Structure 1
Amino acid sequence: MSTLTSLARVHAVEAGRAQPITTVRHVHVSAKPLVCVPLVMAGEANAPLAAMVGSDRDAPRVLIVPQPRNPELRFGFAHSLAMVVLDRVASCAATTETYARSRGRNGQRAADAPQVWVPNRAGIEFLRLFGRSTRFRSPTGPYPVPVSVPALGKWLTFFAEHAENPGSSMLLAATDVLAQHWATGQSALEDGNLAALLSWIAPPTGSDGAFAALEAEDPLLYPPAGPATDTTFDREVLGPGIEEYDRAAGDAEQCRRARTRLETALRGQLEPTWHRMWQAIDQLRTLPPGNHVAGRWGQDKDDFTRFYSHVTAGGNPQPKRDSAVAAAKRLNRLERYLAGYEAQRAFDDPLVMAEYRLVGEAFVGEVIAAEPNRRVGAGNSAALRPLITVSTSDPVRLAVGDGPVSDQKRPRQHATIISVTETPDGREITLELAGGMGKGKTAPAGTVPPVGERVCFSTLVSEYHREGTFPALENTPWTHGGPPTAQRPSTDDDAKEDWS
C-alpha cells in the first residue's frame, strides 16, 4: 500500500466514506458487459453449484446443478453456460473494423471483444479451473460431452490468462477494479467483500461507510458474493434441498419440484450480488476513461480476434503446462505490459503520478530556461540536443547522469539529467533532450518545452517495450528440460482428469 493510499484510508475513516484515489477510470467498461456470479459447493473440488449470468441486468439467467457430485449434471451446467458465453463471443466477432497499425498500414479486427465481470478474485480462479476442467473434454469416446463444453473451456482459459495481463479488461473482478479507484476505511482483505466495499463507496442515505460495511457482513442480509456459500445456508437450506432431490430420483414430478425449490433458494443467494455487480459497473461509469484506456482495449480486441481465428480453425486447446521457453516469454510479456501499464496510468492521472513524485521518481516544475536548437558534435554528424532548465520544489532523488526520463506530454522524447542545483525554493534541474524532434537541424515548434511551460518528468516509459531474446523451442537447453514434445490432441485419459 502506498503512502497516499494509506492517507486516503485515514480520510475515509474520518469522512465515513471511501475516498477517490484516481481522477479517471483505468479500465474499459463495455456497453454490454457479461456479468457472471458463480457459486460452488463446499467440500468439492471446484464443483459448480449455480451461476447467475447475462448481459441484461433485468433478465439474468440462473443455472444450477441440483446434485454437484453428478458429472452428467455438471456438464449440463457447462453446456448451458457455454451457450451464454459462446453467444457473446460470436456476437463480438460478427462485426469487424479497420484500424490503423504501425507504419501507415491498416488491419482488420473484431469491432468489440467480450468483457466478463465476476464479483472477486475467487470468481476468476473458479473460471480458470473450470476452463482447465473442460477444455480437454471430447464430444466422442467413452466420456462424451456436448461439443460446446471444450469450446467453453478454451474461452474461459483465454479470459483467465488475460486477467493476469496488466491493463487487460476482458475478465475483471469487481472488487479489484473498485479498490483500484477508491480507498476505504477498512483493510485490503475486507475490500474483497463486494458488499462491504460498495458500502464504503456509496453508503445508504443517513449511514456511513463503517456502519454500512458492518451490516454487509451479515450473510442473511448480504449473502456472500461467491463462489463459496455461507455455511449456515449450506447446513439449513442447501444440504436438505440436495437430499430431497436425491430422494426424488426416478420420480420426474418430485425431481422437478425439488429442483424448483433449490433454484429458488439459490436465486435468493445470487440476486443480491447480481444487483451489486451492476451497481459497481454503474459506479465506475461515473468516472471518465483515461487517455490510454482505448488503446489497451484495442490490444484486447486484437488478442480476441487472433484467438477467435485459432478456435474457429480447429486449433488445439491451451496446453496443461507451458514449455520452458513459452513460460519465459509469458513472464517477459507480463513484465513489459506491467511497465507500460504503470506508465500509462501515471500519465493519465495526476493522483497516480503524485505517488511517483512523492518517492522522488518524478517531478513537476516550470521551465525557466531553454536552448531549443543546441547541437552536439561537428559538421553533418552534429545531433540536435536541446537543453532546458526546470525549477521544481518536488523531492527529487534523481542525480546527474540519470536517465532516460520523459515528459508526460512528450512520452517519446527522452532526457538525461545534466545538473541539479539546490535553491532556497527547491532545486533547478537541467536536462538534455533527445528524440521526438524529427531529423531537421532545428527543433519544430512544440517539440521542446518553452520557457514558462509546466512540465512533468519521470522515469516512466509508456512506449513499446522490446521483447526479450529467447531460444527456439528446439533449442531449449537441457537445464530447462530440453526441447519439448509436440502438443498432442486430447485423449480419453484427458477426459478422465479430475474436475479440479
Structure 2
Amino acid sequence: MSLDVYQRLLALSQRRAVPAASRAHRHLSPRPWVLVGYHLAGEPSAPVAIRYGSFRAQPKLLVVAEPRDRDQRFAALGALARDLATYVSRYTETEPVVRVGNGRELDVDQCCTDAPQLVVPNEATAHWLDLLGQYLRTLDVDPVLQTAGAHLGWFASRRHLPGSSAVLTATDLLATHWRTGQLPTEDGHLGRLLAWIEPPAGQDAWTAAATAEQRPPAGPASDPEWDLMTLRPALERAKQVGDVRRLKLAAAEALDQAWRDTWTALDLVALLPPGGHVAQRWESDRWSWTRHRERVTAGTIRFGGRLSDVPAFRFLHELETRTVALERQMALDDPLVMARWLATGEAVAGTVIKRDLDHSVTSAKGSTLLRPLLWLRTQGFDRPAGTELWLGKVGLTVRSSTVDTVELMVTSGAVTRQKFNLLPECDAEVVLAPFGPQQYFPDNLPEELPWPARPTRLAPPRADEPDEDSGE
C-alpha cells in the first residue's frame, strides 16, 4: 500500500484531513493578486463578475450589465487590465545577480528582486484566465487590453511548469500539503477541501463537506439555478433600467465565499515553514518575469498558438527536467514527503551499527582505491545489490542486505580520509535516498526528435495518383 492511499484511509477513519507535507513547497507572495469570478455560461470571453485585488479586506468588483455587448465588455476588461498593469508595475526593481553554471561564474545580469503572483480558487479559473488572455491579445481596440493579455499569457506559460509559483490554484496548493478521505477529483472543490482540513467546531469532515457543496461554486461557471433565479433578473433590470446595484449585490454575495476560501488556503499553507529549495525555484520565476517584462517594454512579446518541432522538444525536455528536480527537492526538504519513498523501499532509514574506513578495492588499472563500508540496521529493505543511494553528497552502493541489515560501500563524496567527516558515526540515525546532487540534463537535440515533437507535414500527392475527390 502506498503512503498516499494510507493517508487517505487514515483521514477517512479520522474524518479529518491529515498532513501530507511538513514544509510549504510553494512560494507565497506577501502581496498576491487574488482573482475569483464568473463568466456567462458557455462564453468564457464574456465575464459577468470578477472580484480581485491584493488586499483581502478591500477587493474590487467588476460587473458587466450586458456581457454580450462588446462596448460594456471592453470597458470592464479595460478596468481590469489597468489594475493588473498597476499591480505588475510594482515588480520592476532589479538587482545585479551573478549567474553561475558548472561551478564557475558566467556573468552578471539584472534580475527583478520579486515577481507578481496570481492566485485563483481552482484549476478551472486558471484555465479561464488563460483563454481570456488569448482573447485580449487578439484585440486591437486598446493597447492596454493587449498588454494585459500579454501578462496573462506569461502567467499561463508558468502555470504548467512543475515547481513554479507564479500561478497558484488554492485547490492544488491544499492538495499538495494535505490528504483528505474523499476522491482526488472531489479535492477539486475548494469548499469541500477546506471542510476536510478545518471543519467547523462540532462537525466532522463529511458533514462540513456536504454543507460546503450547497454554497455557490467558486467559479468560473456559476450555479444554473442561481443563473435563472438571481442573475437573469439582475441582468434584465440592469439592461432595462440601467441599475446595476442588484447585479453587484448578487455577484458580491455569490463570490464572497470563494474569495474568503482562497485567502484561507493561503493562510493555512503560510503556517508551514518554507522548504529549503522554494527560494531557488522562485528565483527561476523571477528570471522569467524579468525577461517577459523586457520583451513587453521593447514591444517584441510574441505568443505562439502551437509549439512545433524543436520548440516542442525543448518544452517537453523542460517539463521532464523540472518534474525530476521537484520530486527530488521536495523529498530532501520534507521528512513527510521522504516518508513516501521510504514506504516504497526506494529510500532506507536505519542506524549505523558498524564502519570499516580502511576498506579498499582494486581498480581495473590495478590501483588501490579507498572505499569505506557502512552497515545499517533497518527494517525490511530488500533492494538488490548495486542499488545506488545517497546521504547528502556522499554516494553509496548496496553490497548486500538481510532482513534487518544493509551493507553499503561508499563510492563518491567521501573516498579520501580528508572527507571522512562526512560519514555518519556509529549509532547515528540516517536516511539514504535515491537523490544525489542536482542533476543537469543537457538539452542538446537528438539525432531524431521524439515522435510527439516531429513535424506532421503531409507529402504532396504524386502526379500519377488519382485525386480522391475527382471520382476517378
Q: Answer yes or no: same fold by TM over 0.5.
A: yes
Structure-2 residue corresponding to 1:319: 304
Match of 1:227 among 220, 224, 237: 220
**1:239 deviation in Å?**
1.5
Q: Does 1:175 align with 2:171?
A: yes
Amino acid at match of 1:37: V
Structure 2: gaps spanning 5 or more residues: 458-472
Paired with 1:395 and 1:282, the residues of 2 have a C-alpha distance of 39
Count of residues in Structure 1 that have an aligned counterpart in Structure 2: 453
Q: Using a 3 Å threshold, how does the CA distance of structure 1 residues 331 and 210 change in structure 2: closer, same or farther? A: same
The 1-side partners of 2:61 and 2:301 are apart by 31
Residue number in structure 2 paired with 1:442: 417
Instruction: Give the C-alpha shift of residue 478 in structure 1.
Output: 11
Separation of aligned partners in 1, 2:377 and 2:278: 30
Aligned with 1:432: secondary structure?
A: strand
After superposition, residues 65-464 of structure 1 pair within 5 angstroms as: 65-96=64-95, 98=97, 101-102=100-101, 103-104=104-105, 106-138=108-140, 145-218=141-214, 222-246=215-239, 248=240, 254-255=241-242, 257=243, 259-372=244-357, 386-403=371-388, 405-407=389-391, 410=392, 412-417=393-398, 419-423=399-403, 426-434=404-412, 436=413, 442-461=417-436, 463-464=438-439
Distance 1:260 1:203, change over 3 A: same
Deviation at 1:231, TM superposition (A): 0.8
Question: Residue 44 of structure 2 contacts residue 132 of structure 2 at CA under 8 Å; is this kept in 1?
Answer: no
Question: How far apart are 1:50 and its partner, in Å?
Answer: 1.6
Query: Structure 1: any 5+ residue segments left out of the alignment?
Result: 139-144, 249-253, 483-500
Displacement of 1:210 in angstroms is 1.3
Q: Does the 8 Å contact 1:117/1:173 carry over to 2?
A: yes
Q: Deviations over 1:2-46 (max 9, x none)?
A: 722222222223323211111111111111111111211112244
Secondary structure of the residue that 2:422 maps to in structure 1?
coil
CA contact (8 A) 1:344 1:462 kept: no
Distance 1:392 1:134 in 2: 62
CA distance in 1, matches of 2:47, 2:359: 67
User: Is this contact kept in 1: 2:390–2:436, CA < 8 A?
Assistant: yes
Q: State the identity as a percent.
A: 33
- 1:383 to partner: Cα distance: 8.3
- Deviation at 1:398? 2.6
Partner amino acid, structure 1, of 2:33: L
Query: Relative to structure 2, which stretch is displaced further, 19-28 or 463-472?
Result: 463-472
Residue pair 2:24, 2:274 contacting (<8 A) in 1 also: yes
CA contact (8 A) 2:47 2:64 kept: yes
CA separation in 1, counterparts of 2:114 and 2:322? 21
- Cα distance change on mapping 1:204 and 1:97 into 2, 3 Å: farther
Q: CA deviation at 1:238?
A: 1.1
Residue identity opposite 2:302 in structure 1: P
Q: Deviation per CA, 1:144-197, whole angstroms, max 9, x where unpaired?
A: x22111111122121122111111111011011101111122222221111111
TM-score (norm 1): 0.83
| Cα distance change on mapping 1:447 and 1:45 into 2, 3 Å | same
In the aligned structure 1, how far is the partner of 2:368 from the partner of 2:136? 59
Q: Residues 116-150 of structure 1, C-alpha deviation per residue, up to 9 Å, x if partnerless?
A: 11000101111111111122333xxxxxx221111
- Code of the residue aligned with 1:206 in structure 2: it is G
Structure 2 counterpart SS, 1:137? coil
Q: How many Å separate the matches in 2 of 1:390 and 1:308? A: 54
1:35 has 2:37 as partner: no
Comparing 6-15 with 181-190, which one deviates more in the overlay?
Answer: 6-15
| 1:227 CA displacement | 0.5
CA contact (8 A) 1:194 1:276 kept: yes
Offset from partner CA, 1:211-254 (integer Å, 9 cap, x none): 11111111xxx2110011011110011122223333x3xxxxx3
> Counterpart of 2:63?
64
* Shift in Å, 1:469: 2.0
Letter in 1 for 2:444: T
**8 Å contact kept, 2:25–2:330:** yes
Q: Which amino acid aligns with 2:120?
A: V
Range 262-271 or range 91-100, more displaced: 91-100
Q: Which residue of structure 2 lines up, in the alignment, with residue 8 of structure 1?
A: 7
Q: Using the TM superposition, give the Cα deviation of residue 458 of structure 1 relative to its aligned residue in structure 2, in angstroms.
A: 2.2
One-letter amino acid of the structure 2 residue matched with residue 357 of structure 1: L
Question: 1:487 matched to which residue of 2?
Answer: none
Aligned-partner Cα distance in 2 for 1:385–1:306: 48
Tell me the amino acid that sits aligned with residue 188 of structure 2: G
- Give me the CA root mean square deviation: 2.8
Per mean C-alpha deviation after superposition, the further-off stretch among 224-233 and 4-13 is 4-13
Tell me the SS of whatever aligns to 2:421: coil
1:384 to partner: Cα distance: 5.8
